[in-house]
Amino acid sequence: MNKAIVTSLGAAVFASLFSLTAHAQETKGSAKAGEAKVWICVGCHAINDYRADWPQVYRVPKLGGQNADYIAASLKAYKSGERKHPTMRAIAGSLTDQDMADLAAYYSAQTPTSPRNPLK
């Protein structure tokens, strides 16, 4: 029984260390760095009630106040082709993981009605 407990504890410690290592490798975004990169987004996402018409008509969302994890995951999904939109795929394809994390941090730090941020 002691051997089983020691084995279980050893496995738990190993799993914990592996989890911490994987978590430490996540890309941390910087809102300040994102502010310098946001120009790539504002042509569509900073226009009130903007509607794109290709490949279909849809409302382009404002991004200020959106969850950072959602933004980063969406950009990664566009880049991989999991999410389908030709323009977003091309834009996301030009971004590094750090760029995505920075843009996500920038937009998540905003509020949808933030007056200090005309680029939301």
pTM for the complete prediction? 0.72
- Which pLDDT tens digit goes with each residue over 34-72? 999 999 999 999 888 898 887 788 899 989 899 999 999
CA angle 118, 50, 54 (to 5 degrees): 135
* 29 or 50: which leads in pLDDT: 29
Candidates 83, 106, 115; CA nearest to 30 is 106
pLDDT (mean) for 75-80: 98
User: CB of 32 within 8 A of CB of 104?
Assistant: no
From residue 87, alpha-carbon distances to 39, 40, 102, 118 in Å are 15, 12, 20, 22
| Alpha helices per DSSP H over the chain | 2-24, 31-37, 39-45, 68-80, 86-93, 97-108
Query: Please, what are the domains in the chain?
Result: 28-108 (1.10.760.10)
